[in-house]
Amino acid sequence: MTARRLFGLLLLAAALPAAAQNAYRWVDEKGRVQYSDQPPPQSVKKFDERKLQANRAAAGPQLPYATRKAAADFPVTLYVGKDCDQACDNARALLNKRGVPFSETLIQTEAELAAFKSRFGKEPFVPSMTVGRELEAGFAEAAWNGALDRAGYPSGKR
């Protein structure tokens, strides 16, 4: 009985790190934006830390290999605003319909606006989507599908 209890505790301990994951964003000494699941070096004094939450497309059974590969090589971020409404809903629906795992960033503070401008050299326009380093500003279904296709995301049910 003790061996079973120990085994159960080990399984529980192994599952704990998966329950709460953080993502870190900072600008390195060369001015490049860095993203990691590990905290930045101690020399970095200012950084953003966010809790990662699974979206509906990523929940459930394991994703197909092609989707996992595309997500690893070309992660998708959806940028939204608080008054985005139908256009942002349409963008989310497209990503979920294609089964694309994505993170969502709400742009509402001056710091978030400045970070967007700094990264892309453009005024924020929501919804916007990045696929890897490619930016699609404004929701246009054909353009967004094209960007996802080029990154290797399966087409899903269109």
pLDDT at residue 22 greater than cutoff 80: no
Q: What's residue 24's pLDDT?
A: 80
Starting at the earlier edge strand, list the strands of the sheet with 48-52: 33-36, 21-27, 48-52
Q: What's residue 129's pLDDT?
A: 96
Q: What's residue 12's pLDDT?
A: 46
How far is the C-alpha of 8 from the C-alpha of 29, rounded, in Å? 45
Domains, the chain, ordered by start: 18-52 (no CATH), 56-158 (3.40.30.10)
pLDDT at residue 14 greater than cutoff 60: no
Q: What's residue 41's pLDDT?
A: 83
Work out the percent of the chain whose per-residue pLDDT is above 90.
44
Read off the tokens for 44: 């970095």
Are the C-beta atoms of 124 and 107 separated by less than 8 Å? yes
Tell me the pLDDT tens digit for each residue of 101-151. Answer: 999 999 989 988 898 888 888 888 899 999 999 999 999 999 999 999 999
Tell me the pLDDT tens digit for each residue of 34-87. Answer: 887 778 888 887 877 777 655 544 445 688 999 999 999 999 999 999 888 899
